Amino acid sequence: MAAPMITVEENDSLVANSLCSFVIERANEAIEKRGKFFIGLSGGSVVKYLCNGLPSLKTDWSKWRIFFCDERFVSYDNPDCTYTPYKEGLADKVEMLIDVNIYPIKPELPVEECAKDYASKMLKCFDIKSGFPRFDVLILGMGPDGHTCSLFPGHPLLEESSKVIAAITDSPKPPPSRVTMTLPVVNNCRNAVFASCGASKAEMVQRVLEGNESPPLPAAMVRPTDGSLHWFLDKAAAANLKNKL
């Protein structure tokens, strides 16, 4: 993998603008070349960045296929639900993005079955029988402990090498049950994209991007094998980076 591409903006609104422009460019390129655009979304601050910026941009929404990098295992009407803010802030705002093109988990199933159901839905949508889907873009968040998706430091799920989607029932961050993409799927994407803003991220951004820690933090394990890694930061989150850009 080539070195991460790091974009530093003055503040979080400019990060949101750059992130949305990046996504639309990749979407339009994927649609032109391959007819569809596959994206995985995450919770956290990226929800508002994407929901505020994307709906007004020009793209063929009918060609988008939207999945989730991880979802909290709660019902759609629970305020912790990862899907509902995207349903309300994106899918409901964009006429051509009909509900069938956005794929939430089914929280009414038992969690292990829910993970299996989500994996098979994903493979079907990618039209593959086995192996790992290749997403055009994965939008990732990084938690204060260096987690990404629902892959937490020291957790055995970091070693998962065959499942596409896994259930976790002992997440250190509530809610304890979640459904997440595994690292092999994350690292099979064309573009892995982090967006982190604010001074509270500065230390962890530096550790993930420059720390070379062993064992590596989950966010540092995102290294697409045949794709690129992008970080969108505001000045406060980038403040501790030693290699000034």
Ligand X SMILES: O=C(O)[C@H](O)[C@@H](O)[C@H](O)[C@H](O)COP(=O)(O)O
Residue 143 lies near ligand X (rule: CB under 6 A):
yes
- Single out the segment in contact with ligand X by CB under 6 A; choices: 55-63, 113-121, 138-146, 221-229: 138-146
Write the binding mask 42 to 81 for ligand X: x where contact by CB under 6 A, - elsewhere: xxxx------------------------x-x---------
The nearest distance, CB 184 to ligand X, in angstroms, is 19
Q: What is the DSSP letter of 9?
A: E
53 contacts 26 by C-beta, under 8 angstroms = no
In 69-213, which ranges are E strands? Answer: 70-72, 137-140, 165-168, 178-181, 191-196
Of 136, 228, 239, residue with least CA distance to 196: 239
Report the 10 Å Cβ neighbour count for 183. 22
Dihedral-angle region of residue 198 (phi above 0 means left; psi in -120 to 50 means alpha; beta otherwise): left
Residue 104 lies near ligand X (rule: CB under 6 A):
no
Nearer of residues 132 and 194 to ligand X, judged by Cβ: 194
Write the binding mask 159 to 198 for ligand X: x where contact by CB under 6 A, - elsewhere: --------------x-------------------------
Of 69, 35, 34, 89, residue with least CA distance to 139: 69
The nearest distance, CB 214 to ligand X, in angstroms, is 23
Helical (H) or strand (E) element with 75? none
Segment 15 to 44, residues that bind ligand X, using CB under 6 A: 42-44
**Candidate residues 40, 53, 133, 141; the one interacting with ligand X per rule CB under 6 A:** 141
The nearest distance, CB 44 to ligand X, in angstroms, is 3
Half-sphere exposure of 225 (CA within 13 A, CB side): 8
Give the number of residues in contact with ligand X, rule: CB under 6 A.
10
Can you give the binding site for ligand X, defined by CB under 6 A? 42-45, 70, 72, 141-143, 173
